[in-house]
Structures are given as C-alpha cells and as structure tokens.
Amino acid sequence: MASQPLPGTDERAERLLLETVHGQERLDNRINPDERRFVAARYSWGLKETRVLQQLLKRRGWIESVAYGPLGAEVTVEGYIRPTS
C-alpha cells in the first residue's frame, strides 16, 4: 500500500467528508480529525494537511467551523446532499 500513489487533493477531501458522515447516528456530529478513523481516510501526514482538506470542504460549503477545538467542524446540509463524482 505504501508504494501506491496518494489520491489527489479532491479525493482526499471527499474521503474525509465521507468518513465523517459514515455511520453517523446524528446529523450534527462534529469532525475531530484526531480520531483514528480519519487518518486513513484523509491520507494526511498531520493536522496541517487536514486543515487544508477542511478548508477545501468549507469553500465548497460542505462543512462549517464550530467551536470544538481548532479543527472542529460540522457537515452542512450541502455536504450531506453534495453531488457525487
């Protein structure tokens, strides 16, 4: 797996979003990128890269920042109904 090329930025952001909504019991769950399940989904070396992916999702209107630590975010309505590629 380590020899495989990294997915592109768009795909990494999409995977982070999909992992966020996967298995949610509530629609107001927040992203905490420190959770283990997000590490593989985002293909990021650290939280700085995660910030970039979250900024991309935010610019698309798919997440919004919330007061839950420096990287906390919630999926927006647009994020739940986003077009799939």
Specify if 3 maps to a domain. Answer: no
Residue 58 CA to residue 40 CA, distance in Å, equals: 20
Given pLDDT bands bounded at 50, 70 and 90, which one contains residue 1?
very low
Q: Report the CATH number that the domain containing residue 15 is assigned in CATH.
A: 1.10.10
Q: How many domains does the chain have?
A: 1
Specify if 76 maps to a domain. Answer: yes
Specify if 17 maps to a domain. Answer: yes
Domain that holds residue 25: 9-80
Specify the 3-state DSSP secondary structure of 68.
Answer: coil
Q: What's the whole-number average pLDDT of the chain?
A: 78
Helices then strands (H, E): number in the chain? 4, 3
Per-residue pLDDT of 56-67, as tens digits, reads 999 999 988 776
Specify if 2 maps to a domain. Answer: no
Give me the mean pLDDT over the 29-53 stretch. 74
